[in-house]
């Protein structure tokens, strides 16, 4: 894995979510770009990369915007980890995989965040959670389809080399 490229992807996702997110909000729902990147990296590269991408991106969100430090890091890291567990068993060119990853990732991520905030006493209003959950699922799923195919097109460049060296493809 080209770790510098992964770091750049996570940082770009964080910047899009925090800087452009309020301007991209639809129906009061801000796109969760870091969650989408964590799910995508997990589905394409395995649980280690999904966990690292989710935890790093979530920690950046927590340090700048979070109410409860570590809640986004744990939620997004867990979602990236769970997405990465199924990586060896799926066909990566299947468009259904990206849509299913977006739906399940968004559902699990939002549920984990609501659970963490509820357990630690920061109050989550169930009616507000339900009303934004469906819109967030649709938004994150469409975003996951877009991001998944963008990263998948560069899979041969980003995938880990078993020898630990740089191998360039010949055309």
Rounded to an integer, the average pLDDT of 10-39 is: 92
Is 166 among the domain residues? no
Per-residue confidence band for 166, with pLDDT thresholds at 50, 70 and 90: low
Residue 79 confidence (pLDDT) above 80: yes
pLDDT at residue 156, as a whole number: 72
What is the mean pLDDT of the segment spanning 130-135?
81
pTM, two decimal places: 0.85
Residue range 85-94: average pLDDT? 87
The yes-or-no verdict on residue 124 having pLDDT over 80 is no
Instruction: Assign residue 147 the CATH number of its domain.
Output: 1.10.1760
Sequence-distant (≥ 6) Cβ neighbours of residue 18 within 8 angstroms: 61, 64, 65
Its domain, for residue 69, covers 3-158
The answer to whether residue 146 is domain-embedded is: yes
d(CA 137, CA 93): 22
Mean pLDDT of the chain: 85
**Is 164 within the bounds of a domain?**
no
Average pLDDT of 95-123? 85
Mean pLDDT along residues 74-100: 90
The number of folded domains in the chain is: 1
Euclidean distance between CA atoms 113 and 51, whole angstroms = 16
Radius of gyration of the chain (CA): 16
Residue 165 lies in a domain: no
């Amino acid at each position: 894995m080209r770790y510098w490229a992964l770091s750049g992807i996570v940082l770009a996702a964080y910047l899009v979510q925090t800087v452009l997110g309020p301007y991209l909000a639809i129906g009061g729902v801000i796109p969760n770009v870091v969650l989408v990147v964590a799910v995508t990296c997990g589905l394409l590269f395995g649980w280690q990369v999904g966990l690292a991408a989710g935890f790093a991106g979530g920690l950046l969100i927590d340090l700048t915007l979070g109410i409860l430090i570590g809640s986004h890091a744990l939620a997004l890291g867990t979602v990236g980890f769970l997405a990465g567990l199924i990586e060896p068993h799926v066909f990566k060119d299947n468009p259904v995989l990206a849509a299913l990853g977006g739906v399940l990732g968004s559902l699990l991520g939002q549920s984990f965040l609501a659970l963490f905030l509820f357990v630690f006493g920061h109050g989550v209003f169930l009616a507000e959670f339900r009303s934004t959950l469906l819109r967030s699922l649709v938004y994150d799923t469409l975003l996951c389809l877009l991001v998944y195919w963008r990263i998948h097109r560069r899979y041969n460049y980003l995938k880990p080399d078993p020898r630990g060296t740089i191998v360039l493809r010949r055309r």
